[in-house]
Structure 1
Amino acid sequence: MKIDLAGKTALVTGSTEGIGFAIARGLQDAGARVVINGRTPERVAAALARLGGEARGQAIDLATAEGARALVAAEPSFDIVVNNLGIFQPSDFFDTDDAVWERHWQVNVMSGVRLARAYLPGMAARGWGRMLFLGSESAFNIPVEMIHYGVSKTADVALARGLAKRMAGTGVTVNSLLPGPTLSEGVAQMLAAETATGQTLEEAGAAFVKAHRPSSLLGRPATVEEVANFAVYLASPLSSATTGAALRVDGGTIDFIS
């Protein structure tokens, strides 16, 4: 099985590091012309230097309507859009104010809503397209330490399902991808206290999974490349019969059969 994305254009939001960067690299390796995105020119430039090839970058904050308009003005058309942009912030429910909820909603949900409105009609007109939303196992296993995050990820799954119905018959597929704990830079920062005691990042990640995600069958965090491999497949012509699905790359953390 060979994934060939030659001639396709792809946007990956929030892609200067972590899962987003790994997806951008995977799409480029498959032949797509990739645009990466981050909030600052410095981070975008650094990511482009790591990525190499013919990738382009857009330093735009997509958590705002103004940012979305600026991106669409600069990049009016894509064949593949991966809505990877997301934040998480552990915080007890009773200490989490409206500002935190609103920030998670704007970054994790509305950024994808705006780009779907902008880019799906063009995909439909051309008769082919792929839109992917990065959900999370937290969409189903709502984490008690960050309920606000889990709610936003559940919304992403619902959004992808609804949009898949809306795009039915157009040649455009819309899916959500559900990673479990993944060794991204953000997770590494969260585990910094443990690694400071002499544990490796991998050891600290495995200990976190066993303590906080005991239903995991994998027993360790995934790598960003393991998540990206699934995303690249979903972005390809090979996934043409898959749409409206919430697809798990969670190491078996979600404890139900699907």
Structure 2
Amino acid sequence: MENLYWKSLLSQQKIKEIYNYARSKGFITDFLFIGPFENIGNSGLYKEFPPEKEILLNQKYKGKNGIEINWFKPMEKSINGYINLYNLIYPNKWSTAYALCYIFIPKSQEVLIKIGSPNSYKLFIDDSFIYSIETERRNLFDQEIIKIHLPLGLHKFLIKISNTMGPFGFYLGITNQKDEPISGIKISENIQNYIKRKLPWIKIIPQKDFIRESPLSEIFYTFYGYILGTYYGYRDDGEKFLERAKKNKT
């Protein structure tokens, strides 16, 4: 439902409401970018390009098709929270790009990191690999929710996005456990001192807490299977629920 409301705001171009809603979702829009790197046959997700080894803002690298690339900051920031790499990176088809920022957490706490993307991606925090998915799906926010404990201080966020032929971009939001913006959070695009560390986390399946399962009807299984498989890209999980729907129907 949230995504439907969001699309309604966007279609009506209600700028003030879009801006306020994006802030309430905790969307991060301050990033540095670099790309494109190769993504031949969607293999770029699994290749370790220079940003995964080092962050040197003045360094130039050989990117896709041998072009020279470097880190850059766009002239304008996203108002609606969606980071549209299709307009920032060229060539933008069968390409891989990185987005970088540093986030200050004002006190140690459990937070929810929410990611949405039509593309395959990897997320790194404090140089530790957190999550990855290979997918092609609809362009929505909150498709993955990661619950993670972040200590007080600065944290390095690096997200890698690998596109094929379609839309190219992502949403990245961070909230407290009550799904509210974190008071005192600060975002920086400048290189900051941070502690390299491994961070324990768990994945929360979106929408699961909002849909009540009924073992007497196949409607729940069909709907939930469709949501997981089509909208969120969890094809295996979605197929399991669709199989349950068939069994209940018989």
Normalised-by-shorter TM-score class = under 0.3
Q: Which has the higher helix share?
A: 1
Q: Which has the higher strand share?
A: 2
Kindly indicate whether structure 1 or structure 2 has the higher relative contact order, using CA contacts under 8 Å at least 6 residues apart: 2
Radius of gyration: which is bigger? Answer: 2
TM-score, with length taken from structure 2: 0.27
TM-score, with length taken from structure 1: 0.27
